[in-house]
């Protein structure tokens, strides 16, 4: 029987994914889900004599860490779509193959985008708070008022797979879809959505705004004070992309003043740390980055990462190679 490839697995993964790992690989598992720092990552890579590493977005593969990896590490498969936790330039320089897991998060993340839009628009956090604090009393004509989603104008910043899936769901609420993307979609994918060449052109139309763009330097603090000023008064903002896309020092004052009526946020800058001022706001619906948190999606992510590793060890080109 051929020897199984050696893997170092940095996090505890869903049972079905780990079952496939145990069947196909000689892997070091992280059964206790311990936190591995930079030195741990290098040390365990050496001790296991692994040929590949299956990692997550929680581990930081800096240029320093990658430069210290032993030469027997040939492939780094991340259990995530994003790969900003990996210095891809350093990986390319070292000849380290990097893969990610695109496509499998689309539906689940689009669902969370709609949850954030609906939760923020209908003030779901305040309704739950009333129940949990035992404060539900007499019905009030002005109590816990939100805003309708149905029939409103929705702007989507970033019309990739997830943005298009958000648009598909929003059409069920009879929303008028506006979008800003680097390139205009063909008509068969645009499906009547209104394209805007710049955010500045789109934002004045956005009674609701869903941010579904990539992270990175190009979108850092995209939603700043200048762009918030372009939104209609009382607009609802949802972000399920990257926390860095929003300037907290611009959005929080806008929420306090009512310029932005409400926000639904699943991602934050410097997470799991986040700006605690959000906790003092009644018009914010908050989630702890659960866009991909379904059994089906997390299994899909793991299987996609393993498909890439399987391809590499079979001498084939991984389907989701980043570098």
Residues annotated as catalytic (active site), given as ranges: 242, 271, 289
Give the sign of the dihedral formed by CA 59, CA 292, CA 284, CA 168. positive
* CA distances for 164 relative to 156, 205, 322, angstroms: 9, 18, 23
User: 3-class SS at 209?
Assistant: strand
The Cα–Cα gap between 46 and 61 comes to 15
Query: What distance lies between CA 225 and its chain's CA centroid?
Result: 23
User: 3-class SS at 134?
Assistant: coil
Which residues, 6 or more positions from 312, have their beta carbon under 8 angstroms from its beta carbon?
52, 74, 75, 97, 99, 318
The Cα–Cα gap between 160 and 105 comes to 12
The Cα–Cα gap between 111 and 106 comes to 9
Name the strand (E) or helix (H) holding 141. none
The Cα–Cα gap between 269 and 277 comes to 13
In terms of Cβ atoms closer than 10 Å to its own Cβ (0-12, 13-18, 19+), residue 302 is buried
User: 3-class SS at 213?
Assistant: coil
How are strands ordered across the β-sheet holding 194-196?
194-196, 176-180, 153-157, 208-211, 235-239, 260-265, 284-286
Give the residue from 170, 178, 171 showing the smallest Cα distance to 195. Answer: 178
> Could you tell me how many residues make up the chain?
323
Report CA dihedral (187, 193, 196, 201) to the nearest 10 degrees.
170
């Amino acid at each position: 029987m051929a020897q199984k490839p050696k893997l170092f697995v940095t996090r505890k993964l869903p049972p079905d994914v780990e079952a496939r790992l145990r069947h196909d690989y000689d892997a070091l598992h992280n059964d206790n889900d311990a936190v591995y720092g930079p030195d741990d990552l290098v040390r365990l890579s050496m001790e296991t004599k692994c040929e590949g590493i299956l990692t997550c977005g929680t581990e930081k593969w800096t240029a320093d860490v990658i430069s210290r990896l032993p030469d027997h590490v040939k492939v780094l498969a991340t259990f995530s779509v994003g790969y900003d936790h990996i210095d891809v330039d350093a990986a390319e320089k070292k000849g380290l193959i990097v893969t990610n897991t695109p496509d499998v998060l689309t539906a689940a993340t689009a669902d969370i985008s709609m949850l954030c839009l609906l939760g923020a628009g209908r003030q779901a956090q305040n309704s739950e708070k009333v129940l949990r604090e035992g404060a539900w009393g007499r019905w009030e004509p002005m109590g816990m008022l939100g805003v309708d989603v149905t029939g409103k104008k929705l702007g989507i910043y970033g019309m990739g797979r997830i943005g298009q899936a958000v648009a598909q769901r929003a059409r069920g609420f009879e929303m008028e879809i506006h979008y800003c993307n680097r390139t205009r979609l063909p008509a068969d994918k645009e499906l009547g959505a209104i394209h805007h060449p710049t955010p500045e052109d789109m934002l004045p139309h956005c009674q609701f705004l869903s941010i579904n763009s990539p992270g990175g330097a190009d979108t850092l603090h995209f939603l700043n004070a200048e762009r918030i000023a372009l939104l209609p008064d009382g607009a609802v903002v949802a972000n399920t992309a990257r926390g860095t896309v929003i300037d907290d020092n611009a959005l929080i004052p806008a929420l306090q003043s009512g310029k932005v009526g409400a926000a639904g946020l699943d991602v934050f800058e410097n997470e799991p740390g986040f700006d605690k001022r959000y906790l003092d706001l009644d018009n914010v619906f908050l989630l702890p980055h659960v866009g991909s948190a379904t059994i089906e999606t997390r299994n899909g992510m793991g299987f996609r990462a393993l498909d890439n590793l399987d391809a590499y060890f079979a001498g084939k080109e991984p389907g989701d190679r980043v570098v």
